[in-house]
Amino acid sequence: MKQKSGCGSVTWNGKRNGSGAAPATLIPGDGVGPEVIGAAIKVIAACGVKIDWDEQVAGAAAVKRVGSPAPPALIASLKRTRIALKGPLETRVGEGYRSINVYLRKTFDLFANLRPTRSFPGVNARFSNVDLIVVRENTEDLYAGIEHQVTPGVVESVKVITARASTRIARFAFEFARRNGRRSVTAIHKANIMKLSDGLFLKCARRVAAEYKDIQYNERIVDAACMRLVTEPSEFDVLLLENLYGDIVSDLCAGLVGGLGMVPGANYGDRGAIFEAVHGTAPDIAGKGVANPIAAILSGALMVEYLGHHEAAERIRTAVAQVLKARRVRTPDLGGKARTDEVAEAIIRAMERAA
């Protein structure tokens, strides 16, 4: 999936240090996070891009170390660097602190979540022709976290959709499509039921679409879209979604190409970005050294591209594709026996051979 720009309409505008390295916050994360992020760091270093990492803790690791899931030092680092590579963070189900992922996206107004989903030769998956871009609004919807108990046994959650956020994410999707030579944008919704909220989202998408005559615009109800994605994913190109639908559909798309260990992710704002794999902490295999690092490595490639090193990012993606196609080095989730660090080393060797 060769892209002219991994970030659509936003680019990094920070300052490099005296050695030419770009400052960036490093958040290893919880569970398998340190293992897969460690592999990504090695690959980024091997591609020749200089990064001045400022390592910070967040999530469960931060609670254990400093008593807060989002320590002031983390926030200060992100305000300074405006860019981060992040591992998965633990979020307890039905209890505990709110998602730090959501907190960071809202705090730094990282309004656009981008998840490229691509088939790789050599990976056993139901489809071999998947090439999708999920563009997800990142700041509102039910993820605004506005909920309360009306009375014992009755809880109310508020879905927030605004014209500002809907227009902004639609424009991001169309700008991305135009810059990267994509053919269409499909807005996915449930406006047949939620006529006001999802209806507003659609109205904004339609207004923006009218400005991009070179890009085909389509609409799909979310349940029908999911059905078509698992039967004929080649119908889709760029998917434009609200926050909750985007979260669910992006994981569904990952299942088309071999699982969550294969799909990178990026969160973009006008003045910063956080790059992260879409998978969770995988506590069942944490510390065993067998987690699939491909998603983290491809997220690192998106970060490298955001920094302006487009050729280096493409070298990483090409090397990943070569290693997967060869079928010799792969982690257990892909049917192999390789360790996390062995996959990273194989990708580095592939880059060295190409050089």
Domain boundary among 224, 256, 288: 256
Is 172 in the same domain as 285? no
The answer on 31 and 64 residing in a single domain is yes
Residues 136 and 224 in one domain: yes
Q: Are 157 and 190 found together in one domain?
A: yes
Residues 285, 217, single domain; the answer is no
Q: What is the pLDDT of residue 3?
A: 42
**What pLDDT was estimated at residue 160?**
96
Please tell me the pTM assigned to this model: 0.92
What local confidence, expressed as pLDDT, does residue 234 receive? 94
Beta bridge partners of 103: none
* Type of residue numbered 279: H
Q: What is the CATH number of the domain that holds 87?
A: 3.40.718.10
Looking at the fold, whether 277 and 225 belong to one and the same domain comes out as: no
Domain residues for the domain of 162 are: 126-256
Looking at residue 126, its pLDDT comes to 86
Q: Is residue 209 part of a domain?
A: yes
Low-confidence stretches of the chain (pLDDT beneath 50): 1-5, 7-9
332 vs 254, 289, 297, CA distance in Å? 17, 11, 17
Is 132 found in the same domain as 91?
A: no
Classify strands 112-118 and 266-269 as parallel, antiparallel or unpaired.
Answer: antiparallel
Whether 167 is in a domain gets the answer yes
- Name the domain boundary from 256, 279, 298: 256
Q: Are residues 153 and 244 in the same domain?
A: yes
Number of separate domains in the chain: 2
Three-class SS state of 280: coil
Do you know the residue count of the chain?
Answer: 355
Verify that 134 and 241 share a domain, yes or no.
Answer: yes
In a domain, 116, yes or no: no
Any domain includes 120? no
Residue 250 domain flag? yes
Is 121 part of any domain? Answer: no
pLDDT at 10: 62
Cβ contact 122:312 at 8 Å: no
Q: Where among 226, 256, 286 does a domain terminate?
A: 256
Q: What is the pLDDT of residue 202?
A: 98
Q: Coil, strand, or helix at residue 206?
A: helix
